[in-house]
Amino acid sequence: MRIIIFGPPGAGKGTQARLLEERRGLTQISTGDIIRTAMKRETPIGKEAKAYVEQGELVPDTVVRKLAEQAIADEAYDDFVLDGYPRTIQQAEWLTEFLTEHDTPLHAVVSLQVPDEVIVDRLSKRRIHKETGDTYHLDLDPPPDDVDPSLIVQRPDDQPATIRNRLSVYREQTAPLEAYYQERDVYYAVDGVGDIEAIYTRITTTLDDIPTAAGA
Ligand code: ADP
Ligand code: ADP
Domains (ranges, CATH) in the chain? 2-115+168-208 (3.40.50.300)
Q: How far apart are CA 141 and CA 122, in angstroms?
A: 10
Residue 187 β-bridge partners: 109
Q: Is 2 a catalytic residue?
A: no
Is the model's pLDDT at 216 over the cut of 90? no
pTM of the full predicted structure?
0.95
Averaged pLDDT for residues 158-164: 91
| 3 to 52, 83, 163, 203: CA distances (angstroms) | 26, 9, 26, 11
**pLDDT tens across 47-106, in order?**
999 999 999 999 999 999 999 999 999 999 999 999 999 999 999 999 999 999 999 999
Q: Among the options 122, 126, 127, 202, which is catalytic?
A: 126
State how beta strands 135-137 and 108-113 pair. unpaired
Q: How far apart are CA 185 and CA 107, in angstroms?
A: 9
86 CA: nearest ligand 1 atom: 23
- Of all ligands present, the nearest one to the C-alpha of 36 is 1
Which pLDDT does position 42 carry in this prediction? 97
Q: Among the options 36, 122, 127, 166, which is catalytic?
A: 166
